[in-house]
Chains A and B, each alone.
Chain A
Amino acid sequence: MPESRSTDWAVEAHGLVKVFGDNRAVDGVDLSVRTGTVYGVLGPNGAGKTTTIRMLATLLKPDGGEATIFGHDVRREPQIVRQLIGVTGQYASVDETLSATENLVLFSRLNGLSRADARRRSSELLEEFGLSEAAKRPLKNFSGGMRRRLDLAASLISQPPLIFLDEPTTGLDPRTRAQMWDTIRRLVATGSTVLLTTQYLDEADQLADRIAVIDRGIVVAEGTADELKGSVGSASLLLRLADPASLERARQAILDVLHVDAVLSPEAGRITAPMSDPDSVTDLLIRLRTDGIAVAEIAVQQPTLDEVFLALTGHDTTAADAASGDPAGPGAELELEGAR
């Protein structure tokens, strides 16, 4: 096997397809995840995120396309792939009737650890994930956050080089969510590659090195968070004036210096202008000073990933009804440069 092929890429998928009845849940997905990075798959409910992950994790057989994990084909060498991955599902994949310790010992034993090693590894992981005190309690009394942490701990037993996290923070409160993010960051620091799915744009923004936006079974855009944001448009400049009466003069100044039309909101004394070159803003500020226009507030606003998502898919992240066949939005055709 050509070694060079598999060193760089933890995941390579080309044209993955999965059909459930009439529904093409995944319709030709391409993904390339570089080893040692966090890759975010972003999309609304029903976009095909979970199905994609399940195919990569050998839980589902693809109906078309191919996928390799560190160079190993998911269809031909599933047992090898399983030794390289850890999977944390959307619904806690731990045994409800067993205690936390029993769960981890069971999964350790199944991972081939000896009885003594299994005990040691379980208590290490429980310690790391702050579950030592609850170790002996049945899972029925665990909170959602504790369950997720146990689930993640179970995925780390064999120290897999690739970890799939399917919506790791869905349904968690903000504090638990931040803890989960920390855990994921520390995981990457140890050399793991992480592929996570999420419906939260800020989560992808916070964690992922690269993001694929997926909608109705296809990848509609791929790139870094900044590239994605850059693709929908430039940043905008926000000015609030001390004296609303000077709004018109300020608009003229912006037209002269930045050569763009600004939008006025007279009642708030605010001006918004598209800003392509941050450097020219200094010229504008000098001009405002010489004209004697006092500025009360100045801000630069980047487009949010929410706006990106809306532009790419033509619908927002919550109203993702696969059945409603509304036409793709204006940016749906957008393919980013530098994806590879």
Chain B
Amino acid sequence: MTQLTIAPGVSRTLKNHVSIGQTVQNSLSMAWRGLLKVRRTPEQLIDVTVQPIIFTLMFTYIFGGAIAGSVANYLPLLIPGILVQTVVTTSVVTGVQLREDMDKGVFDRFKSLPIARIAPLAGALLADTVRYAIATTLTFVMGFVLGYRPEGGIGFVILAGLLVIVSSWAISWIFAFFGVIARSAASVQGISFLVLFPLTFLSNAFVPVDTLPVFLQWFVNINPVSHLVTAVRDLANSGTWTGDAWISLLGAAVIVAIFAPLTVRAYMKKA
């Protein structure tokens, strides 16, 4: 045992508030934990490695001829679409894993530590951007293998990838919220996919909007996922940063502004 005498409780000067600097520091420490976990359990990466490969292959050859006349013509339309769909879907796993994680005893310790309350959540979400990066890279590589040559060049492709990662990180706060309020990990998955399927499929991700019935076009055009897909297409295919990119970023900011406080509050309430 350390022979240091412990400073008595009353002689310590303490603050009841957590500074922004400490919040960032705490969140980064928690993100480090998330990365260690990924390294320990690489099987958690199966969805972000296998899904981009399989889905890209499938969609390209199933829909390529029917929608765009040929595989080569479909790729510039599909790759940004499937990229957004895959990465956004991946963010559901964030909520599911957060739920599982929170059921473990270690979260009791996080709560008893003098750290920013948001840190265990923000850290977990931050670590998951690694998953999004893997999925993004694999989707672009898969597209390249199939013959996709984005006109925008490598710089804009990376920028497009970053936009998708940032947006997915923002969206993952929604699923983190479900993760915190849900009773079990399985129910998180259930609720999340119910939200996700309409959002990703009722968009311009796989088909041109003008082929849809009018009432659907209305929804597809206001769907934030459509704006993100369009933004990625503009970046990767023509190297332009358009209004859709700004809308995507704005949407991401709005989601975080709403769901981060909601999630933290729910997390604090849950014992």
- A residues contacting B by CB (< 8 A) are 3, 6-7, 10, 35, 54, 57-60, 69-72, 76-80, 82-87, 89, 91-98, 102, 106-107, 109-112, 124, 128, 138, 154, 159-162, 183, 186-187, 189-192
Contacts and interface: CB of A to CB of B under 8 A. Distances in A.
A19 to B, nearest CB: 13
Interface of B: 1-10, 12, 14-18, 22, 25-26, 29-30, 32-33, 36-37, 40-41, 104-115, 119, 271
Nearest to A76: B16
Given A79-B15, A98-B33, A189-B1, A6 B108 contact: no
Nearest to B37: A97
Contact of A58 (B6, B18, B105, B111): B111
Contact of B109 (A3, A76, A94, A183): A94
A128 B18 CA distance: 31
B9 A35 contact: yes
Give 10 closest A-B pairs by Cβ, nearest first. Answer: A70-B9, A93-B109, A82-B114, A186-B1, A93-B105, A161-B9, A87-B112, A191-B6, A109-B29, A91-B105
B109 A154 contact: yes
Contacts of B15: 79-80
A190 B109 contact: no
B14 to A, nearest CB: 4
A191 B26 CA distance: 29
Given A82-B113, A86-B112, A159-B2, 15 more contacts: A58-B112, A59-B271, A60-B271, A79-B14, A82-B112, A83-B14, A97-B41, A98-B36, A98-B40, A106-B33, A124-B2, A138-B40, A183-B1, A186-B1, A190-B6
Contacts of B14: 72, 79-80, 83-84
A110 B113 contact: yes
Given A109-B29, A138-B40, A159-B6, A85 B1 contact: no
Q: Which of A35, A86, A87, A110 has the most CB of B within 10 A?
A: A110
A54 B270 CA distance: 13
